Structure 1
Amino acid sequence: MTTDWIVLDIEGTTSATEAVHKGLYDYARPRLGLWIEAHADGPQVKEALEQVRAETGAATTAEVVAVLHRWMDGDVKATPLKTLQGQIWAAGFAAGELTSHFFADVPPALARWRAEGIRVAVFSSGSVASQRPWFRHGDAGDLSAYVEDYFDTVNAGPKREESSYRRIAEALGAEPARTLFLSDVPAELDAAAAAGWRTVGVARPGEPNATAGFGPHPVIDSFDRLEDHA
């Protein structure tokens, strides 16, 4: 093996896009206003509200929620939205109201990588607060023991920027050339490759990027086919 670390995207890579957009988004959407009002004094909620208001001019809670709904409709990767969604989802997982989805090949692959001495981290646009319960409350059980670290656009940076991957490698103490990134988004793979990482595109049947052009990146449709690239 030439890989010390495998860094995973979530949506479209480990888990179906529909599970996020329908399951999680539909859960968070009607709860945003109530959550903001109930946790208005929380430092993360305060910061998120300040960011929305500074960016959009929204004043009332209703106006802020309307902005957040528009961002959700447009799948905008906005930090304040991800923060609030992450808090709501974490509460939903803790209450047993949410269960995350993983493709069938993912749990055995995580176990196999652990046995082979390969370490695993996650880099997703969803907040770390939502990533942790996602792996803890899966339809295949608790997978969190296989993941050593989590990164999002707050603690690492945008997923399509080379500097984010350099930051992650430094945080992990990982050698870029021995770090492998798996994602269904070609632009993210380009950024990781520019930072010296090895990359493999994930084109799962039925997913939005299944027919995307991955350029120079090797492509798999299941983690079972990763062995030739790890």
Structure 2
Amino acid sequence: MAVKAILTDIEGTTSAVSFVFDVLFPYARRHLPGFVRERAGTPEVAAQLDAVLGESGEPGVDLDRAIDILLQWIDSDRKATPLKALQGMIWQQGYEAGELKGHVYPDAVKALQAWHGEGYGLYVYSSGSIQAQKLIFGCSEAGDLTSLFSGYFDTTSGHKREAASYRRIAETIGVPPGDVLFLSDVVEELDAAAETGMKTCGLARQGGELAGHPTVTAFDTIYPASF
């Protein structure tokens, strides 16, 4: 089966891990208390706070405790959907204010543009919220790249180390898993995708190998037609 769609991770794959951990996470942590206090009464924020309290097992606690929980989750890099949603809202403010610019490796920009031109369907799957994904690519240092992508997936589709998530994504895209090429820097994610029959390619930008998968150091050595 030929590759028809390319599904890519962001952190460590299209974009530097340091951008997420050294820029985005500190920005969200710094602005989260004020943002939540200011907007707790809005429907979109209130819904996420309810989800935070439900997931934490502490329903009914006050706003200060909810903020403490969120800050703890940021510090532990917890992949919690309501946290990701709130971070996305905070980052949107930062991007709109010009305080943030999304990092995308130049080799990734060039390859994604070429693959789009060749007719491949391009999709994103990241633990960051769909909103955050669109912001990284829409407000990137290379300009607005969102027109390259046909869809975005986050933890609402399932966890990235579970095969069922990739089956769900392939079904949503509308192609058999064997027609999808998944790109990631995490071997457990690649393993989960491969379990469904997806083709895989690992990104090890500092060198090395992601065991069991073809591994490259940059996008410019990925040739989808060869998979």
| Residue identity matched to 1:81 | L
For the 8 Å contact 1:114–1:146, the answer to whether it is kept is yes
Cα separation, 2, equivalents of 1:157 and 1:83: 15
Residue in 1 aligned with 2:148?
Answer: 146
Matches within 5 A, 1:16-27: 16-27=16-27
Residue in 1 aligned with 2:205?
Answer: 204
Residue in 1 aligned with 2:42?
Answer: 42
Residue in 1 aligned with 2:6?
Answer: 6
Residue segments in structure 2 that go unaligned for 5+ positions in a row: none
For the 8 Å contact 1:123–1:151, the answer to whether it is kept is yes
Please give the TM-score of this superposition, normalised by the length of structure 2. 0.93
Please give the TM-score of this superposition, normalised by the length of structure 1. 0.92
For the 8 Å contact 1:14–1:102, the answer to whether it is kept is yes
Q: How far apart are residue 197 of structure 1 and its match?
A: 0.6
Q: How far apart are residue 215 of structure 1 and its match?
A: 2.1
For the 8 Å contact 1:33–1:61, the answer to whether it is kept is no
Stretch moving more, 75-84 or 179-188: 75-84
Instruction: Name the SS for the 2:155 alignment partner.
Output: coil
| Residue identity matched to 1:191 | A
Structure 1 outlier segments of 4+, above 3 Å: none
Residue in 1 aligned with 2:222?
Answer: 226
Residue segments in structure 1 that go unaligned for 5+ positions in a row: none
**CA deviation digits over 1:138-191, x for unaligned, max 9?**
11111111111000001x111111111111111111221110000001111111
| Residue identity matched to 2:219 | F
Q: How far apart are residue 38 of structure 1 and its match?
A: 2.1
Cα separation, 2, equivalents of 1:42 and 1:220: 45
> Are the structure 2 counterparts of residues 56 and 32 from structure 1 closer, same or farther at C-alpha, using a change threshold of 3 Å?
farther
Q: Name the structure with the higher helix share.
A: 2
Task: Identify which of 122, 128, 150 aligns with 1:120.
Answer: 122
Identical aligned pairs, as a percentage? 43
Cα separation, 2, equivalents of 1:73 and 1:37: 20
For the 8 Å contact 1:44–1:83, the answer to whether it is kept is no
**CA deviation digits over 1:195-223, x for unaligned, max 9?**
11111111011xxxx54x62211111101
Task: Identify which of 70, 81, 84 aligns with 2:83.
Answer: 81
Task: Identify which of 96, 100, 109 aligns with 2:102.
Answer: 100
Cα separation, 2, equivalents of 1:60 and 1:28: 21
